[in-house]
Structure 1
Amino acid sequence: MTALVEAAPGAARALVLAGDAVLEAHFARTDDPLPVGLIAPARLASRSGGHGAGRGVVVMAGHEALLEPAPADWPEGQTRLAEVLRPARPDGVRDKQARVAVHAGPARPAPDLAARIAAAGHAAVLVPAHGPDQLAEAGWYAVVEEALSGRVDFAGGRLLVADTPAMLVIDVDGNGDLARLAEAAARAVAALIRRHGIGGPVVVDFPSLGGRGPRAVIDAILAETLPQPFEKTAMNGFGLVQIIRPRRQLSLMEESRRPGFAALELLRRAMRLVGAVRIEASPRVIDWLAARPALTDECARLTGGAVALRADNGAGRGHVQHV
C-alpha cells in the first residue's frame, strides 16, 4: 500500500491508500510527552498489589504513567528504563494514564509517524509543505469530517458514532431490507475501525435480525473484514455486537476531540500559503495558538511571512488567508 506522509507544525499526518480509497488515517502530535515506543528512564513513585508483581505509578519525562506489571524487585524511588506501550487518553471525564512496561534498553526516542508507517509495510511518500495539497486531494478532510461529526455514510445507510469514556458506540441507521442493511453496515463498520485506527471496546447496534442464520452472516462478515487483532461477541437477538481491539494509539476520533486539534489543522492549511498569513478562529483556538509561539514561528518560516492571529466568535472551525 502507498502512504502519503506529511509533516506540519505541531503534528504529522498520513493516509494509507488503495487506489482512491483511504484505508487508514493517522495523526501524530509532536507535543505528546509520552509517545508510544519511547524508552526512557522511569522512577517508580508508588506501587500497589503487595510484594508481588502488581501495578505501580512511575514518573517518566516529567509525567505519571501506569506501570503494569510492576516487578517485585523494583523498589519505590528507584529509576529504571521503561517503554511506553499505550498512550494517555485524556477525555475530560476519566483521564487514563499512559501505560508502560519495564524494558532492558537501550533508551531511544519514539519512532516518528513515517517510521511507523514504514514498519507497517507501507511505501511511504513524503508530501512537501508547499505545492498541491496532496493529502487534501486524497481525502484527508473527508476523514476528519467523519471524526468530528460522527456520521459515516455508506450505500443504503449511515453509521452514527459516539465516543464515551467507557467505549465507542456505533448505531446503524437506514431503511429497506434489514438483512442487506446489516451486511453493508458490517463492512462499513470494519472499514471505519481501520480507517480511524479505533482500539479498545466498541459496541455496534445493528438492526434486530430474526433467526440465527442472518445473524451468523453478519458475524462472518465482521470476522473476515475487521482489522486484526480483535475479539468479538456473536450478534445477540437485539442486534448488539461487542468488539475489542488493542489501543496502541489514539484513534483519529479521539485525537479530533483533544484541545489543539482545530488549531493544528489550521496551521497545516496556513503553511501552504506564501507570504504573510492570518489565522482566524474562535477565541479558544486562538488562545491555544498564542500560548505556543514556536508553532506559529515554524509556520512563518514555511510561508516566508508573519503569521497573525485573530479571534472571531463567528469563525466556525476557522480559516486562513493571505494578509
Structure 2
Amino acid sequence: MPEWLVEEGIGETRAILVDDDAETILAARLCWHEPWRAGAVAQARLSHRRPGSRGGAVVLPDETIALVDALPPGLTEGARLLVRITRAALAEKGRFKLAQCRPAPDASPSPAPPLAQDLRETEFPVRVLGALARDFDKAGWDELVEQAQSGEVDFPGGRLTFSPTPAMTLIDVDGTLPLRDLALASARAIAQNLARLDIAGSVGIDFPTIEGRTDRQAVDTTLGDALAALPGGWRGERTGMNGFGFVQLVSRLARPSLLSRHAHAPARAAAFALLRQAERVSEPGILLLVAHPAVLAAIDSTFESELARRTGRTIHRDPRPTLALHAGFAQAIVS
C-alpha cells in the first residue's frame, strides 16, 4: 500500500507518497510555514463587502487581507467574525492572489494543521522521518525538485513543459512519436505529474493536434482513466479535446504547487533545499553554507538558529554571486 513519508525541515515540511517499494514518488506536497495556510481559523474584521453579494474582504490578526465568501446577511463593515482559510495566498507572475476564507462561526481560533496531520485525513498511512533518513533520496526527491525548477518532465518518446501563468498552469506536449501515440502517452504522463508536482486549479493542456474525432476521444478516455487511477482519485471537471488539441482541467486549489513555489520564489526554495542539505552533513566541524547571496539572504536568523540547534554546530556563510541559485552547497570545515 502507498505510504506518505514526511520530512519536517527548517522553514518547510515536505511529503511524498511512495509506492510499495518506496522507490517511486506518486504524489508530493511542499508546505512552507506561512501562517495563513488552508485550515487555519482566525478572528477577523470585515473591511469591505461587495454590494449585492456575499463576498468581500477581511483583515486577519496580523493585518493580512484575505478574500471572504458566504458572508451572512446583515453583516456590515467593521464587524468581527471567525473565518477559516480555504486557500492560501498565491504568488504569480506580476501579481499576488490573496488568501481566501469563509465564515466559521462554530470554530475556535487555531493554526493550520501540520502537514502530517493533514495527510492523516487521506486513505494512506503517514510516517514522519528522522532528519538523517534517506528515504526521500531513494525515491527520487532530487529529480522531482529539478523538474519543479525547470518545468520540464521527460517521458518515453516526449517531454512535458509546465508553465504557471496568472490564468492557469499550461502544459505543452512535444515529442518524436506519431501524433496519436504521443498524445496517448502524454495523457498518462500528465496525470501522473499533476500529482507529483501537486498541481491543481485551472490547467490547460496543449496536446498535438489530432484530426480524427475517434482518436481525440481515445485521448480523452486515456486521460480520464489516468486521472481516476491516481492515488486517492482526482476530483474535478474537464473538457473534451477540441479540434486544436486543447483540454482544460479544473479542480479545487488550496495551496501553491511545487511548480509555483520554484517559479515564483526560487531563492527561497533554494534556501530551504540548502538547509535540508546542511542538516545531512555528516563530517565534523563548522558548517559552511556556500550559495548565491540571494539564497543566503533568504535564510534569516530564525532559520540559521534552528540549523545550529539541530546540528549542534557553528554556522558560517560564503556568498558567491557567480553561483546559480540552486548550485549552493553545505560542507564541514575545520575551524
Question: What secondary structure sits across from 2:37 in the alignment?
Answer: coil
Match of 2:241 in 1: 235
2:241 and 2:247 in contact (8 A); partners too:
yes
Q: State yes or no: 1:299 paired with 2:288.
A: no
Q: Letter of the 2:26 partner, please give it.
A: L
The C-alpha deviation readout for 1:189-213, integer Å capped at 9, x for no partner, is: 1111111111111111111112111
2:51 pairs with one of 49, 56, 61? 49
Q: State yes or no: 1:88 paired with 2:89.
A: yes
Match of 1:283 in 2: 293
Match of 2:128 in 1: 126
2:172 and 2:206 in contact (8 A); partners too:
yes
1:314 pairs with one of 307, 319, 322? 322
Match of 1:261 in 2: 269
Moved more, 175-184 or 221-230: 221-230
TM-score by length of 2: 0.91
Task: Give the superposition deviation at 1:293.
Answer: 0.4
2:93 and 2:264 in contact (8 A); partners too:
no
Match of 2:60 in 1: 60
Q: State yes or no: 1:244 paired with 2:246.
A: no
Task: Give the superposition deviation at 1:114.
Answer: 0.4
Whole-angstrom distance in 2 between the partners of 1:251 and 1:176: 29
2:35 and 2:112 in contact (8 A); partners too:
no
Question: What secondary structure sits across from 1:95 in the alignment?
Answer: strand
Q: Letter of the 2:114 partner, please give it.
A: D
Question: What secondary structure sits across from 1:108 in the alignment?
Answer: coil
1:25 and 1:140 in contact (8 A); partners too:
no
2:70 and 2:102 in contact (8 A); partners too:
yes
1:276 and 1:304 in contact (8 A); partners too:
no
Task: Give the superposition deviation at 1:295.
Answer: 0.5
Q: State yes or no: 1:76 paired with 2:86.
A: no
2:149 and 2:259 in contact (8 A); partners too:
yes
- The two structures, once aligned, show a CA RMSD in angstroms of 1.4
TM-score by length of 1: 0.94
Whole-angstrom distance in 2 between the partners of 1:92 and 1:213: 38
Whole-angstrom distance in 1 between the partners of 2:215 and 2:119: 37
Task: Give the superposition deviation at 1:133.
Answer: 2.5
Task: Give the superposition deviation at 1:315.
Answer: 2.2
Question: Which runs of 5 or more structure 2 residues have no equivalent in the other structure?
Answer: 228-232
Whole-angstrom distance in 1 between the partners of 2:177 and 2:155: 14
The C-alpha deviation readout for 1:10-38, integer Å capped at 9, x for no partner, is: 111011011322111111111x1211100
Match of 1:205 in 2: 206
Q: State yes or no: 1:191 paired with 2:197.
A: no
1:42 and 1:81 in contact (8 A); partners too:
yes
1:204 and 1:242 in contact (8 A); partners too:
yes
Corresponding pairs, count: 317
Task: Give the superposition deviation at 1:164.
Answer: 0.9
Task: Give the superposition deviation at 1:106.
Answer: 2.4
1:258–1:279 distance in 2 versus 1, CA, 3 Å:
farther
Task: Give the superposition deviation at 1:92.
Answer: 4.2
Match of 1:172 in 2: 173
Whole-angstrom distance in 1 between the partners of 2:160 and 2:203: 13
Match of 2:30 in 1: 27
Q: Letter of the 1:133 partner, please give it.
A: R
The C-alpha deviation readout for 1:26-77, integer Å capped at 9, x for no partner, is: 11111x1211100111111111123xx4311101132110001322222211
Whole-angstrom distance in 1 between the partners of 2:155 and 2:223: 16
Question: What secondary structure sits across from 2:120 in the alignment?
Answer: helix
